[in-house]
Amino acid sequence: MTSWNGAIVGCGFFAHNHLHGWGELKERCAIRAVCDIDGGKAQAAADAFGIPNVYTNIEELLARETLDFVDIVTTAPSHRALVEACARRGVATVVQKPLAPDWADASALVATMDRAGRPLMVHENFRFQAPLSRAADVLRSGVIGEAVWGQFSFRTGYDIYAGQPYLAEVERFVLLDLAIHVLDIARVFMGEAETVACRSQSVRPGIKGEDMATVMLGHRGGATSIVDVTYASRQTPDPFPQTLLHVDGRQGSIRLDREFHLTVTTPEGTTREVVAPHASAWMSPQWVLIQDSVVATQRHWLDCLDGGAEPATSGRDNLKTFALVEASYRSAAAGGSLVTPEVF
Ligand code: NAD
Ligand code: 89V
């Protein structure tokens, strides 16, 4: 098995999860360098994780290091320039969601990496969450028949702004930051969507963008699904960061309820199981679901590097999810009218 050499760009709030995650996979890869325009953050990450080389500029990083991949954990406005820098050097790249702030940047950066002929994976980790991945396997097994209706729901009042204060300042907020995960899940379960209708709301005082959105998707083949997301649902207990789902098939249904309770009804009867994430010592109870999925996403990346396969959440694939976000914004701007996502 090859051991791959990587570097992390962006050492802020979420990067420690990536650093721990790569550490769990240390038999298969090593992080040789970290980079952040804030040299203090880069140095702190290097010190905490024993990483030898520290940079404040990606060009310098790429010029000096011999890398098999770069893992970009910065916020969206920087993604295009950073991915394109990697493409110019022919370095395979993982980039956090959302791929970019808008469609123009997202499609341009994917096209640039396509021209470079190197792999690009979006760190879209929700489909790698243990309970969602298990539920998708059940659907693929065929026991509930063809999916005809779905609801994918992420509703929380968790103080997301404490760790990610920039979210209060962005004009495109919950669709781009959160619905993008859940729309990706809707695609996994229901297939591609050809129509989108969305209404969005801004509920919490003092934020710039929308923090509540409800999207109705019309899928190829006739199935319908609802994606509803918000950071403004006050509830106790709060399910953050769980995505709950209900999928009706022609012969049965799949439900994922709170605390990872998966219920499957088929013509043969109903089965119930609890599909909890795998907890490692570095994970926190609040974030274990997400943190475990970071490791699973990274494992998938290494599997793809080993096998020369296209990642399930490649740049090209993620543009299909991104197109649903863009269509949702267009629909919401028109008061919820039916729109068609960008064509591929
Ligand atoms: P952050 O602002 O805390 O950290 C980003 C870091 O990137 C900062 O330290 C900043 O100095 C650095 N940076 C910015 N531009 C740079 C550049 N050109 N070169 C080098 N460094 C640069 O942000 P965060 O909360 O860690 O989020 C990072 C990304 O992770 C976002 O896209 C966010 O949506 C995503 N995220 C994903 C999940 C998930 O579950 N998948 C969870 C949280 C955050
Ligand atoms: O993707 C994110 O920014 C995550 C989550 C969706 C869990 O809020 O922090």
Alpha-carbon distance 171 to 303, whole Å?
37
Q: Which of 118, 153, 182 is the last residue of a domain?
A: 118
Please tell me the predicted confidence (pLDDT) of residue 342: 87
| 160 C-beta closer than 6 A to ligand 2 | yes
Same domain, 152 and 273: yes
Ligand 1 centroid to residue 307 C-alpha, Å? 29
From the CA of 125, give the closest atom in ligand 2.
1
Quote the percentage of the chain above a pLDDT of 90.
99
| 241 C-beta closer than 6 A to ligand 2 | yes
Which numbered ligand comes closest to the C-alpha of 123?
1
Alpha-carbon distance 336 to 330, whole Å?
8
Ligand 2 centroid to residue 105 C-alpha, Å? 21
Same domain, 86 and 145: no
Alpha-carbon distance 216 to 96, whole Å?
26
**What's 10's domain CATH number?**
3.40.50.720
User: In this structure, is residue 154 part of a structural domain?
Assistant: yes
Same domain, 163 and 249: yes
CB of 321 closer than 8 Å to CB of 125: no
Kindly state the tokens that stand for 146: 């063809």
- Taken as a whole, the chain contains a residue count of 344
User: Which residue CA neighbors atom 2 of ligand 1 most closely?
Assistant: 12
Beta pairing, strands 120-123 & 92-96? parallel
User: In this structure, is residue 78 part of a structural domain?
Assistant: yes
Alpha-carbon distance 33 to 219, whole Å?
43
User: Which residue CA neighbors atom 18 of ligand 1 most closely?
Assistant: 78
Q: Which of 83, 118, 153 is the last residue of a domain?
A: 118
Q: What tens digit of pLDDT does each residue of 147-185 get? A: 999 999 999 999 999 999 999 999 999 999 999 999 999
Which numbered ligand comes closest to the C-alpha of 297?
1
Same domain, 109 and 137: no
Ligand 2 centroid to residue 209 C-alpha, Å? 16
CB of 170 closer than 8 Å to CB of 208: yes
| 60 C-beta closer than 6 A to ligand 1 | no
Same domain, 192 and 266: yes
Q: Which of 90, 118, 146 is the last residue of a domain?
A: 118
Ligand 2 centroid to residue 60 C-alpha, Å? 30
Same domain, 29 and 78: yes
The parent domain of residue 194 ranges over 127-283+315-333
Q: What tens digit of pLDDT does each residue of 235-266 get? A: 999 999 999 999 999 999 999 999 999 999 99
Same domain, 99 and 230: no
| 181 C-beta closer than 6 A to ligand 2 | yes
Same domain, 132 and 254: yes
Same domain, 273 and 215: yes
Ligand 1 centroid to residue 104 C-alpha, Å? 20
Which numbered ligand comes closest to the C-alpha of 241?
2
Ligand 2 centroid to residue 128 C-alpha, Å? 14
Q: What tens digit of pLDDT does each residue of 266-281 get? A: 999 999 999 999 999 9
Ligand 2 centroid to residue 31 C-alpha, Å? 24
Which numbered ligand comes closest to the C-alpha of 156?
2
Which numbered ligand comes closest to the C-alpha of 73?
1
Same domain, 78 and 150: no
Same domain, 163 and 33: no
Ligand 2 centroid to residue 113 C-alpha, Å? 25
CA-based torsion, 158, 203, 188, 258: positive or negative: positive
Same domain, 8 and 49: yes
From the CA of 167, give the closest atom in ligand 2.
3
CB of 121 closer than 8 Å to CB of 301: yes
User: In this structure, is residue 26 part of a structural domain?
Assistant: yes
From the CA of 240, give the closest atom in ligand 2.
7
User: In this structure, is residue 308 part of a structural domain?
Assistant: no
> Looking at the 3D structure of the chain, how many domains does it have?
2
Kindly state the tokens that stand for 246: 């209900």
Residues of the chain with pLDDT under 70: 1, 343-344
Angle, helix 79-88 to helix 103-116, in steps of 10 degrees: 10
User: In this structure, is residue 343 part of a structural domain?
Assistant: no
User: In this structure, is residue 90 part of a structural domain?
Assistant: yes
**What's 136's domain CATH number?**
3.30.360.10
- This model's pTM is above 0.95: yes
| 76 C-beta closer than 6 A to ligand 1 | yes
Ligand 1 centroid to residue 79 C-alpha, Å? 10
